[in-house]
Structure 1
């Protein structure tokens, strides 16, 4: 059920907890915040709002393009050695968030930000938590030494990769096998990474931690918690509500979970949770971009090179 807690949430400011059940983002009014007198934009959802680090991380469309190209290359290579191997592909780039998914980044970052989602799915992804797709036949295939040689360049199950050089189905296996060949074509290295750079990933998480611990965000958590208490629920912050172990017991949301998720959305709207957290987060990300400009420029070049290679493979 770990897919359920891949996201995080937040809240802000004063008074009681009567709110509408609005679903979509509304605009750009600013609301004075009790934390330090700072004004934050009123916001129900930040999923269509770009953050400074977004351009240095693969967005959903880019990520799918790279993964689709990798799947095509790996499948074609394995077929050449006599193995039918397909990586399951999906047209869904939302990560289970559906219409609530972010547009310019993969991570939801502030948790679910839609009353419509809360009413139907609670804290579960759209459609519920998917079942595992692995089968016994998959396990047998991957345990086959010849399959391993073609895929990874070694028959040794204890090694991640091998030097190849041996014959499979009448052909010489390349160094690092078909996996290495595919990675070489997309990243320029047999041990390349299809994902984000280590620097950009590290900054993505460190700025999230900083924004959660900022005084303005902590204040908004306190206000959100008070609002939820009036709704009949006791949670320290929105993250605690999202990660409640009760919600991980089943693949689908329960009625109690949906009631909490709906109250969460009401309180986050009332206290401007997303508006505050987004504003604070953006500040920390901008500082990170300015202080690590050289390394992030290299990360951006890496993304551009990888996506261009993937588009070429897919004929785009």
Structure 2
């Protein structure tokens, strides 16, 4: 377990980083689904106009961006204190990150006004939001000697013993003090080399860091929803709508990954025209509403299947937040 930083491992494949050209990835998880689950029934499919007010069941088991920032800052403060004892400085992190759950909802919507201005490029405001989420120290600029102390690859430094696992582990253990061990479900509790063919990267993440189980299930629910016959039908309708508008794409993924949108300081006329058609077609076929409803249904099913482990994750999150608050107030974690 350790503090999450949304936009990196916490998102388990969400392409949130802005490229050098200013054009982002498609924002969609790349993981395959965990073990099979039958398509759940859906009584009502909503038709939301935006992501405002929408929530996902798995959010209850994830740190909020504010909580994540608190935990990460406390962990990096403890790490920095340890590094200072060996004569090294260490950057203190704690920028407000992005929510993995919120990002899986936000990408569903493409307002036509936004499409007309930015196409598939990120607005300056969005780029600034992502940049803020990625701020904070991670030790990337440390010297080789400092990294050895941080990671624990050096047993000692200048005659002083380095903590087992290094100063980073010391900081991590501080915010995790008192947290019970999370018992993963059988499908996730295995080493990388024992994963079945086609296993999602997020399954490896959960195996290495049990507290990342909610992110694993978030990715899984997304892929279940994406492969659901009801979603395939909607995506086919979207494709037909786009073709009528003069833009031939088999699915949304194809238009988001169109390499013509790469490069340049802003969107081309072709990109804007395509994005505007996309926005209209998504609204016409209720793409967002269907995908959202399916994700909610699959998440609920996955929560039921993994209730015990998720309850342990939530308890661990609560412990880390309490410990972090104590550290930030100048006291010991426990």
**The two structures share one fold, judged by TM-score above 0.5:** yes
Shift of 1:217: 0.9
Task: Give the aligned partner of residue 107 of structure 2.
Answer: 111
Shift of 1:118: 3.0
Contact 1:65 1:310 in 2 (8 A): yes
Task: Give the aligned partner of residue 183 of structure 1.
Answer: 172
Q: Deviations over 1:228-282 (max 9, x none)?
A: 1222211112222222233344575444333322322221112211111111111
Task: Give the aligned partner of residue 54 of structure 2.
Answer: 49
Cα distance in 2 for partners of 1:299, 1:86 equals: 28
Cα distance in 1 for partners of 2:322, 2:123 equals: 31
Q: Taking structure 1 as reference, are residues 248 and 76 closer, same or farther at Cα in structure 2, changes over 3 Å only?
A: farther
Shift of 1:110: 6.0
Task: Give the aligned partner of residue 237 of structure 1.
Answer: 251
Cα distance in 1 for partners of 2:70, 2:269 equals: 37
Cα distance in 1 for partners of 2:42, 2:57 equals: 24
For residue 210 of structure 1, give the secondary structure of its aligned residue in structure 2.
Answer: helix
Matching of residues 64-103 of structure 1 within 5 Å: 64-86=69-91, 90-91=95-96, 93-94=97-98
Q: Taking structure 1 as reference, are residues 286 and 113 closer, same or farther at Cα in structure 2, changes over 3 Å only?
A: same
Contact 1:120 1:258 in 2 (8 A): yes
Q: Taking structure 1 as reference, are residues 6 and 264 closer, same or farther at Cα in structure 2, changes over 3 Å only?
A: closer
Structure 1 unaligned regions, length at least 5: 10-35, 95-101, 156-163
Matching of residues 114-153 of structure 1 within 5 Å: 114-115=110-111, 116-127=113-124, 128=127, 142-144=142-144, 146-153=145-152
Task: Give the aligned partner of residue 224 of structure 2.
Answer: 210
Q: CA RMSD in A?
A: 3.6
Shift of 1:47: 5.1
Contact 1:174 1:181 in 2 (8 A): yes
Cα distance in 2 for partners of 1:255, 1:212 equals: 30
Cα distance in 2 for partners of 1:88, 1:121 equals: 31
Task: Give the aligned partner of residue 267 of structure 1.
Answer: 281
Contact 1:58 1:105 in 2 (8 A): no
Cα distance in 1 for partners of 2:63, 2:210 equals: 6
For residue 50 of structure 2, give the secondary structure of its aligned residue in structure 1.
Answer: coil
Aligned length: 264
Shift of 1:2: 6.9
